Amino acid sequence: MRVLLSKLPRPWIVDEKKDDGYTALHLAALNNHVEVAEQLARAGKADLDLQNVNLQTALHLAVERQHTQIVRLLVREGANLNVADKDGDTPLHEALRHHTLSQLRQLQDVQDVGRLLMGLGTQGQDKKSSSFIACFLAAHGADLELKNKKGQTPLDLCPDPNLCKTLTTCHKDKESHDIETDIVPSAAIDECLVCSDGKREMLFSPCGHVACCNACAPRVKKCLICRENVLSRVKIEECVVCSDRKAGVLFRPCGHMCACESCAALMKKCVQCRAQIQHMVPLSVCCGGGGDVTYVKGCNASGTISEVKVDLEEESTPSNNTGVGEALLMNNGSRDTSHSDIQKLQQQLQDIKEQTMCPVCLDRLKNMIFLCGHGTCQMCGDRMSECPICRKAVDKRILLY
């Protein structure tokens, strides 16, 4: 995306609309593609306030889907918070419409408005709380008095007096909270240790620490946390299973980080290399902070990469004492190919097992299929809202017996 935008001969094409009025930024906000939206807004200079056929901006769609990172990005880049859609609703109307009773109870437990605002977009808070989004919009200048076509203001859609009071307080004190929220990222654990500007997104190998951003990683020869030599650097991408959240769990001993916390909880094998997972290290620990390492049941908790390599080498060494040539040469002078045939059959059997295994956990057999034709095990399938293979919405689940 960065290369395309830098070599684009016609910059106006960034804001080109489809038949339904959606631009590239609309689609990025709708599908929670944070990095794409960031590139479009900053490198592509996309118009943040363009509206689709329903007169919705990208901010409307991000608030409607409760994608807090997109909301935060668009607000910081200067999106208009008071644009009305075809029903006259602003993004603040949308946020309060999606407000639920459970989120109201969570909000009543928060006394400090500053903590409420600083929590938006961090891992320690509820990332899908409409009340938090509403307070963030109010703190950055969203109008509380604008009425939609039904004559309702945002506060009219909020039946909870405590939340109305909090929104009013956020709106009045928006200047002070803007200063506070700008200070928060400097102390956050995901801040690059080199430039203090970008986010940590590069995984160092073999130590498994995450210490700097993509731009600074090539200059780092030793890990800034453990001082171990860096042999390779891998950028942390989105979860390969759900494609909704960023990968945040390091698998040991293979050293891959390819799944988010919720998807990793279902796995016993790494989805990238199919190696057995001995324990899972959360991103907070990889960044040098605190956290609990999850040990997979039935595996040795003290295993390391070097120990696994030694075990594999021992298993691959022939156990018989006879020479290789004597073992392969038969009495009639011909070569014995039964050993290679057995290896081929074992490989074919392994391929069949992999085809029948659940593509999510790689541990249980497939016993549930979706209408798209793809399948998982029942435990993983019950938790899926969209197919992990083709990304189609799961409308029906069929158990196989």
**Cα separation of 398 and 396, whole Å?**
7
Mean pLDDT of the chain: 76
- pLDDT of 35 > 80? The answer is yes
Can you say whether residue 246 is alpha, beta or left, with left for phi > 0 and alpha for psi between -120 and 50 degrees?
A: beta
Mean pLDDT of 281-291: 80
For the entire predicted model, the pTM comes to 0.42
Question: Which has more confidence, 359 or 122?
Answer: 359
The CATH architecture to which 353-399 belongs is 2-Layer Sandwich (3.30)
User: In the prediction, which pLDDT does 181 show?
Assistant: 40
Which ranges constitute the DSSP H helices of 119-251? 130-139, 161-172, 174-187
Please state which of the four CATH numbers 1.25.40.20, 3.40.50.300, 3.90.78.10, 3.30.420.40 is assigned to the domain occupying 1-108+129-173.
Answer: 1.25.40.20
**Average pLDDT rounded to a whole number, residues 277-299:** 74
Residue 95 has pLDDT above 80, yes or no: yes
Q: What is the helix (H) or strand (E) element at residue 341, kind and residue range? A: helix 338-356
Tell me the angle at which helices 68-76 and 34-42 cross, rounded to the nearest 10 degrees: 10
Whose tokens are 């494609």? That residue is 243
- Which of 237, 190, 196, 238 is CA-nearest to residue 215? 196
Q: Hey, what CATH class is 202-295 in?
A: alpha beta
Torsion angle in degrees (nearest 10) through CA of 123, 125, 131, 137:
-40
Tokens of 249: 């769990």
**Cβ atoms of residues 283 and 250 within 8 Å:** yes
**Of 53-67, 73-87, 305-319, 331-345, where does mean pLDDT reach its minimum?**
305-319
**Structure confidence at residue 66 (pLDDT):** 82
Measured CA to CA, the distance from residue 236 to residue 1 in angstroms comes to: 16
Categorize the per-residue pLDDT at 398 as very low, low, confident or very high, splitting at 50, 70 and 90: very high
In the chain, CATH 3.30.40.10 covers 202-295, 353-399
**Which carries the bigger pLDDT value, residue 189 or residue 25?**
25
Domain with CATH 1.25.40.20 in the chain: 1-108+129-173
Would you place residue 298 in the very low, low, confident or very high pLDDT band (cuts 50, 70, 90)?
very low
CA distance 263 to 285: 18
pLDDT of residue 245: 84
